[in-house]
Amino acid sequence: MMSVGEVSREEGDASTQTYAWAPTPPPKRKRHLGLWIGAPAGVALAGVIAASLVLIAPGTAVAGVQVGGMTPGAAAAAIQAQLDRTAIELTGDGVDATLTGAQLGATVDARALADAAYSDHPMWKIGAWFSDTAHAQVTLDHDTAEAALRKAAPALFEDAKDATVTFDDKSEKYVVGEAENGAGVDLDTIATGLQDGFAAGKAAVPVAATQVPTDPAISTDTANKTAKQLNTLLDKVGFYVGDERTVPVDRAVAASWLIVSPRDGSFDITADASAIDKVVATLAKKVDRAPQNGTAITNTAGTVLRTDQQTLDGRKLGDTTGIAAAFASQLAAGDSVYKLKVDVDKATTTKISRYAVVDLSEQRAYFYQNGKLWNSYLVSTGAAGHATPTGHFTVFAHVPLQDMGCVPGYDYCTKNVPWVTYFAPDIGFHGTYWHHNFGHVMSHGCVNMPISTAKTIYDWAPEGMEVTVQP
């Protein structure tokens, strides 16, 4: 704005006055002192509010650690740091050592404890301030703690002795060396002492070093079970064709294949395939064979009474590649029966039926094979008063030499009667050395024969063969 002012003009009439516009004076400024004072206070208040949303309430403690006013992350670090510093002072005969929680591998779940402290006691929650101390469970790392204690107090430790399993050459069996307990420090006592000191917020606490027995890694019971398993392997070890143990393996040889190693409280069993391969190289000579036809003796119904010639199929061993490695795997798994693959050439069995007829009227014995007369011989059967019984009988016993009679109740005694083939009670074919009157009744009921003939029938007639005695 402009204002009206006076201006004198010298030109013209000096008394004449003129007027012009002039600038308006600036207005007076207002002072805002309250705003400058209030802004910092507002910022501070906002900071307090924000902090209350992320900090743990004052007076909050975890074990012996005050965590009020800390973030959960800072609280977790403080909890573990305090545990690391907390120490135990070992006491006892000849023991003088101090170990910290850090040296003992002590830990707590610090992060979970800190998060729980914040969750239950946030700073913004006034009613949660100055709460009871939270419990923190201390855990020791077994290996770290034992190593530290062994170094600090070696006199308290004695190593346990593991059970062993070894092959004994004399007995050809696996035998067990028994386990022995050792000694060490009771880690539960150490953990409890450290726990108490940590909870109380103490820098160090005395703990009596308590010695306790320690178990071996491998017990005698475990070794016994392993030895039994191995000896069972040796009982059956071999190369089989079907159910036949065609190539048995010597127990000591098989034991030389096996490697028994302690591991994780037990034993690992492995086998050396290269050692097995040396035996595999010899298998063909022991397995391969030509077929062998057999002979079986039957009764007239076809029931096999005796095998005179065993029937054996021919066989030829197939490709042996991979047998050693496969058998090594089987042995490690506890199976010592290796089934070989062979090509089979079938053999045949010839069946021969046999039976005998003794004709009392002819004093002759007839022997038949497959329904045809095989041979006949003059004999001497029972004389008067000792008649040979008639009927159908079966051979039930063979006695190479015996006395006949010679006991109370018999009216005769004949010593050393050879080649007796019994087919009825007290009645049989047998050799006769006391007479040669064959073709006539002479005996006490048996069928007398020349000694050589009796031996032939002894060998020819199996148990179960039918014998008919006819008038």
Instruction: List, as one string, the DSSP characters of 158-200.
Output: B--B--EEEEETTTTEEEEEPPB-EEEE-HHHHHHHHHHHHHH
Cβ proximity of 418 and 442 under 8 Å: no
Q: What percent of the chain has pLDDT over 90?
A: 71
* Domain total in the chain: 3
Report how far apart the first and last C-alpha atoms of the chain are (Å, whole number).
Answer: 176
317 and 357 share one domain: no
Domain CATH code at residue 293? 3.10.20
- Tens of pLDDT, residues 182-234: 999 989 999 999 999 888 889 999 998 888 999 999 999 999 999 999 999 99
Q: Round the average pLDDT of the chain to a whole number and report it.
A: 89
Give me the catalytic one of 135, 142, 386, 430.
Answer: 430
Between residues 50 and 94, the one the model is more confident about:
94
Give the SS3 label for residue 104: coil
Indicate if the pLDDT at residue 44 is higher than 70. Answer: no
430 catalytic, yes or no? Answer: yes
336 and 313 share one domain: yes
Indicate if the pLDDT at residue 277 is higher than 60. Answer: yes
Q: Is residue 320 part of a domain?
A: yes
Q: What is the pLDDT of residue 28?
A: 57
Cβ proximity of 313 and 246 under 8 Å: no
Among 314, 347, 380, which residue terminates a domain?
A: 347
Give me the catalytic one of 135, 386, 392, 446.
Answer: 446
State the number of CA atoms in the 13 A half-sphere of 66 facing the CB.
7
Q: Give the whole-angstrom CA distance, residue 158 versus residue 163.
A: 16
Residue 389 DSSP class = P
Q: Give the whole-angstrom CA distance, residue 258 versus residue 331.
A: 8
Q: What is the pLDDT of residue 222?
A: 97
Q: Give the whole-angstrom CA distance, residue 414 versus residue 182.
A: 78
Among 282, 316, 347, which residue terminates a domain?
A: 347
Residue 339: CB atoms within 10 Å = 11
Q: Which long-range contacts (CB under 8 A, 24 or more apart) does 274-278 make?
A: 274/324, 276/323, 276/324, 276/327, 276/328, 277/323, 277/324
446 catalytic, yes or no? Answer: yes
Q: What is the pLDDT of residue 470?
A: 98
Structure tokens at 363: 């004093």
Cβ proximity of 445 and 385 under 8 Å: no
* Phi and psi angles of residue 290, each rounded to the nearest 5 degrees, phi first: -80, 160
341 and 356 share one domain: no
80 and 193 share one domain: yes
- Tens of pLDDT, residues 401-454: 999 989 888 888 999 999 999 999 999 999 999 999 999 999 999 999 999 999
- Tens of pLDDT, residues 159-175: 999 999 999 999 999 99
Q: What is the pLDDT of residue 31?
A: 54
Cβ proximity of 250 and 195 under 8 Å: no
Q: What is the pLDDT of residue 23?
A: 52
- Tens of pLDDT, residues 372-404: 999 999 999 999 999 999 999 999 999 999 999
Indicate if the pLDDT at residue 51 is higher than 80. Answer: no
Q: Give the whole-angstrom CA distance, residue 274 versus residue 225.
A: 27
Between residues 50 and 138, the one the model is more confident about:
138
At residue 216's C-alpha, the angle toward residues 211 and 219, to 5°, is: 140
398 and 445 share one domain: yes
Domain that residue 334 falls in: 237-347
Residue 292 DSSP class = B
Q: Give the whole-angstrom CA distance, residue 379 versus residue 367.
A: 13
189 and 90 share one domain: yes
- CA–CA distances in Å: residue 448 to residues 354, 395, 432, 464: 20, 16, 6, 21
245 and 96 share one domain: no
Residue 239: CB atoms within 10 Å = 22
Q: For every residue of 17-69, which 3-state class applies, written as one string?
A: EEEEEEECCCCCCCCCHHHHHHHHHHHHHHHHHHHHCCCECCCCEECCEECCC
Q: Give the whole-angstrom CA distance, residue 257 versus residue 236.
A: 15
Domain CATH code at residue 384? 2.40.440.10
Cβ proximity of 251 and 237 under 8 Å: yes
Give the SS3 label for residue 237: coil
Q: Is residue 294 part of a domain?
A: yes
260 and 156 share one domain: no
Q: Is residue 111 part of a domain?
A: yes
Q: Is residue 45 part of a domain?
A: no
Q: What is the pLDDT of residue 109?
A: 87
Give the SS3 label for residue 275: helix
378 and 365 share one domain: yes
Q: What percent of the chain has pLDDT over 70?
A: 89
382 and 311 share one domain: no
Q: Is residue 425 part of a domain?
A: yes
Between residues 276 and 118, the one the model is more confident about:
276
Structure tokens at 69: 């006013």
Q: Give the mean model confidence (pLDDT) for residues 284-288.
A: 97
Among 331, 347, 363, which residue terminates a domain?
A: 347
Q: How confident is the model at residue 15 (pLDDT cuts 50, 70, 90)?
A: very low
Indicate if the pLDDT at residue 39 is higher than 70. Answer: no
Give the SS3 label for residue 357: strand
Q: Give the mean model confidence (pLDDT) for residues 267-289.
A: 97
Q: What is the pLDDT of residue 420?
A: 98
335 and 362 share one domain: no
Q: Is residue 328 part of a domain?
A: yes
67 and 212 share one domain: yes
Q: Is residue 208 part of a domain?
A: yes
Q: Give the whole-angstrom CA distance, residue 191 versus residue 197.
A: 10
Which has the minimum average pLDDT: 20-29, 128-137, 285-294, 356-365? 20-29
* Phi and psi angles of residue 192, each rounded to the nearest 5 degrees, phi first: -65, -45
Give the SS3 label for residue 144: helix
Which has the minimum average pLDDT: 17-21, 32-36, 112-116, 117-121? 17-21
Q: Is residue 337 part of a domain?
A: yes
Q: What is the pLDDT of residue 2?
A: 41
